[in-house]
Amino acid sequence: MTIVHLLERNARDYAGDTALVEINPEQPETRRLTWHEYELVEPTHRVKHYRREITWAVFNEKANRLANMLTQCGIGKGKKVAILLMNCIDWLPIYFGILKTGALAVPLNFRYSSDEIDYCLDLAQADVLIFGNEFVGRVEAVADKISKNCKLIYFGNGCPAFADDYNDLTSECSGIFPACELTEQDDAAIYFSSGTTGFPKAILHNHESLIFSCQVEQNHHSQTKDDCFLCIPPLYHTGAKMHWFGSLITGSKAVILKGTGARSILEAASSEQCSIVWLLVPWAQDILNALDRGEIKLEEFDLSRWRLMHIGAQPVPQSLIRRWLEYFPHHAYDTNYGLSESIGPGAVHLGVENVHKVGAIGVPGYGWQTKIVSPEGEEVTQGDVGELCLTGPGVMTCYYRDEKATADSLKDGWLYTGDMAMQDEDGFIYLVDRKKDVIITGGENLYPVQIENFLAAHPKIKDVAVIGLPDPRLGEIATAIIEIKQDMTCTEEEINEFCKELPRYKRPRKIIFADVPRNPTGKIEKPKLRKIYGAEGLVDSQNKS
């Protein structure tokens, strides 16, 4: 079985049930839509923003129309179709339409520059690019180059002259598509690494990885047909999509929210009666801070069905979860660890029954095995720090067209993650830091995540990143870039006083008050910070108020 079969089952068994809802808080509900009539849904009296929904039958029909169009264009097994779209209700039908042909889906990061788009399309050997209105300028800048090998298809209104119109191409296509013979060992998708240290790598997964991620998600979070998942992160990333796979395998409703504001998240969870919400750390912090300031009040919302809040993509400060459970004591909480190379979340997970272990990333996930090894590849003693390794059905096939990187990361069936970790006496794994982010100061190894987690408990700190910067005496010094909460002020003296609870060698030697940049999946962009504050020397920063 593949995930394509799951969609077809849902279209058969749950044809008239809602599959996807799209909500855009910044779009007024009065705007007339230009989509086919079956997509139009009148907003309810509770919803004051742009909203539309599709059923499982329509989801499958839209995927079939695209599959038929792609087949007419010569796309089939082994071909690659790239997707460059912002989150929308058509993103997933397009993804499944590609898979139905036997071709590989190639999602692209919506932050990519023209050069990165060109690079990724070339690396993946893409045959088609489907792109949206937001990317016209970036695609046009390299259109002459990429269109020599890649057909350009525009999704939206006002098709540019250098591309073909998606609506025109699919309008006469049948909503029925003869099933392509697929096995779990067939190639399914190419995802790209975050690319925060240079151009990204292409990560190849087969259909076994995708169906396995469905099983992992349902096992960890006990989804049923009655659940409703609120999806906010970008769908090009494995994290968001593989969490949504829990909705796919159960045939349950999911809501795509195009907005990350605290009020928007709570309003969507309330109006759509969401039961599962996956947040990134900054969004959870924004909700808590807005509640602390009284800008939003819980009694404004009906959150009675919200049963699970989970976080992934980054280390989670213990202080954040303690605060969260004060406001939401009835919530189950989970955190998930994974990489695009391990089909996203769930390779390690805390487990809703282990909230007393907040701070750990957890234990091996359903169907996964882990080990922690020394630089020589030997398993370390429990309690010692080493590199976290994973094995299971969700490990990537390879880095596409990069034999050296594949050989460096895949060894005897184990994925070497590049993350430093330790395991406590109860078997729970704690993420210490990325191998490349370890700071060596005066011969001592410092792990920035540990310092970040400590500083995150300060009542005035909204976000924090710790990086190593050059020092002529110590080699490197730990430097904390600190983003202060709205309407608050803070001094370096306050931070230094707070850090007296840390061992002296772990205390930051330099404090900088500035914004902390994060990518769309919530990870701190430390290479950007090193470039800003390292290469040209430290710059003076005023306290942020």
Burial of 96 (0-12, 13-18, 19+ CB in 10 A): buried
> Helix or strand or coil: residue 292?
helix
Residue with tokens 């969507």: 268
- Taking each continuous run of H as one helix and of E as one strand, the counts in the chain are 15, 27
CB 6 within 8 A of CB 214: yes
What domains does the chain contain, in order, with CATH numbers? 56-192 (3.40.50.980), 219-239+259-434 (3.40.50.12780), 440-535 (3.30.300.30)
pLDDT confidence of residue 34? 35
CA torsion, points 182, 184, 190, 192, in degrees to nearest 10? 160
Give pLDDT, residue 46: 44
pLDDT of 448 reads: 85
- Looking up tokens 């009835």 gives 330
Question: pTM of this prediction?
Answer: 0.82
Determine the pLDDT at residue 47.
44
Q: Which two tokens stand for residue 21?
A: 């809802």
Question: What was the pLDDT predicted at 297?
Answer: 95
267, 306 contact by CB (below 8 A)? no
Nearest to 309 by CA among 356, 340, 269: 269
List average pLDDT for each run of 10 residues in the chain, which is 545 residues long: 94 98 72 36 48 96 97 96 96 98 96 90 97 96 95 96 96 91 96 69 96 95 97 89 95 94 94 94 88 94 96 76 94 91 90 89 95 94 94 97 95 93 94 76 74 90 90 80 92 93 86 88 79 56 35
